[in-house]
Amino acid sequence: MNETETHTSNLIRHLYVHFPFCARICPYCAFYKTRGNAAEVARFCEALVFEARRVAEKFPLTLETIFFGGGTPTVLSTAQLKNLLELFHEIFDLGALREWSIEANPGSVSAKKAATLRDSGINRISLGVQSWDNQLLNLLGREHHTAQAEESFHIFRSAGFSNISVDFMFALPGQTETQWRGSLQKTIALQPEHISTYCLTYEEDTEFLARFARGEFAVNDETDMRVRDFAPSTIGLTGAARTISGSVQVRFRRADSSAGRTSPIIMNTPSACSPTNHRSRRSKN
């Protein structure tokens, strides 16, 4: 390790791991992901452990947060997740760790998996609910329906998670203002610690952008802006909700998951960056 690396590594407190697999590919999504087969997932897990060891050897990290994002990390089997998490405990010094998050998709949640995640040190869940309307979920090509999403939320609570964030999307084709307000109210009733709301973005190279270009979806920025403001105002309307739900985050256009971080994030997995030493090192996708 050279002097520059030692100096830089002192600042590294966050680890991001990108899991590039999903059970189904949503037609609006531009994140790096693939359906993957069992052999590819197994090979990825091996490579990830190799990369984790390399990073741990190269940089004396003081990890405060770890984020398992995707893609869909919960697409891995319970055994694979358990093994990976155990190895992370072995490889990294997690003495200073405050938060270990994982993105979960309601289609790949079970009580056994939730208990394993909790027992293995994960303490924050980011659950991709997206909508409380089955027709909209269908349009979004989601692999889950609303009942599964609600059940997943309760499974995580019962497994002992006291920090659950839920993701929703607004400005969806055909979504009415009333539907969105209802969605927010139902979400608040569940009492998550955090709600993230994302305005649908028509991303390059997605089926949704092609459909938009063909005129199949109408976009009205004025309505979208109004709908965006529902999130905070719905919290206001329900009064006590502000103390029940820790926070609501509204992203008018989808933002980088590393926004708001004050120190570099490290880990070279597909689609993840390690911007150490003011150089951005991006793994090849």
200 binds, among ligand SAM, ligand SF4, none (CB under 5 to 8 A by kind): ligand SAM
Is residue 203 within the footprint of ligand SAM (CB under 6 A)?
yes
Residue 226, number of CB atoms within 10 A of its CB: 12
User: Which of 25, 31, 193, 194 touches ligand SAM by CB under 6 A?
Assistant: 31
Q: Which stretch binds ligand SAM (CB under 6 A): 69-77, 88-96, 183-191, 229-237?
A: 69-77
For strands 281-282 and 273-274, give the pairing: antiparallel
Q: Give residues with Cβ within 8 angstroms of 3, minimum separation 6.
A: none
Q: In the complex, what is the shortest distance from the CB of residue 218 to ligand SAM, in angstroms, rounded to a whole number?
A: 16
Q: Give residues with Cβ within 8 angstroms of 184, minimum separation 6.
A: 168, 195, 197, 230, 231, 234
Instruction: Tell me phi and psi for residue 42, to 5 degrees.
Output: -65, -40
**Crossing angle, helix 146-158 and helix 111-119, to 10 degrees?**
40
Backbone dihedral region for residue 10 (phi beyond 0: left; psi -120 to 50: alpha; all else: beta): alpha
169 binds, among ligand SF4, ligand SAM, none (CB under 5 to 8 A by kind): ligand SAM
**DSSP assignment of 142-165:** -S--HHHHHHHHHHHHHTT---EE
Residue 54, number of CB atoms within 10 A of its CB: 12
Q: Which stretch binds ligand SAM (CB under 6 A): 47-55, 59-67, 112-120, 195-203?
A: 195-203
Listed as own residue / partner, the contacts of 156-160 with beta carbons closer than 8 Å and 24 or more positions apart are 156/104, 156/109, 156/114, 156/125, 156/127, 158/111, 158/114, 159/111, 159/114, 159/115, 159/117, 159/118, 160/118
254 binds, among ligand SF4, ligand SAM, none (CB under 5 to 8 A by kind): ligand SAM
Contact set for ligand SAM, span 88-117 (CB under 6 A): 103, 105
Is residue 17 within the footprint of ligand SAM (CB under 6 A)?
no
Is residue 165 within the footprint of ligand SAM (CB under 6 A)?
no
Contact set for ligand SAM, span 212-271 (CB under 6 A): 254
Q: Which stretch binds ligand SAM (CB under 6 A): 109-117, 131-139, 183-191, 199-207?
A: 199-207
User: Which of 97, 124, 140, 167 touches ligand SAM by CB under 6 A?
Assistant: 167
87 binds, among ligand SAM, ligand SF4, none (CB under 5 to 8 A by kind): none
| Distance, CA of 197 to CA of 167 (rounded, Å) | 6
Shorter beta-carbon distance to ligand SAM: residue 92 or 212: 212
Q: In the complex, what is the shortest distance from the CB of residue 255 to ligand SF4, in angstroms, rounded to a whole number?
A: 15
Shorter beta-carbon distance to ligand SAM: residue 91 or 212: 212
For strands 265-266 and 273-274, give the pairing: unpaired
Which parts of this chain interact with ligand SF4 (CB under 6 A)?
22, 25-26, 29, 31, 33, 70-72, 105, 128
- Contacts with ligand SAM by CB under 6 A lie at 22, 28-29, 31, 69-70, 72, 103, 105, 128, 130, 167, 169, 198, 200-201, 203, 254
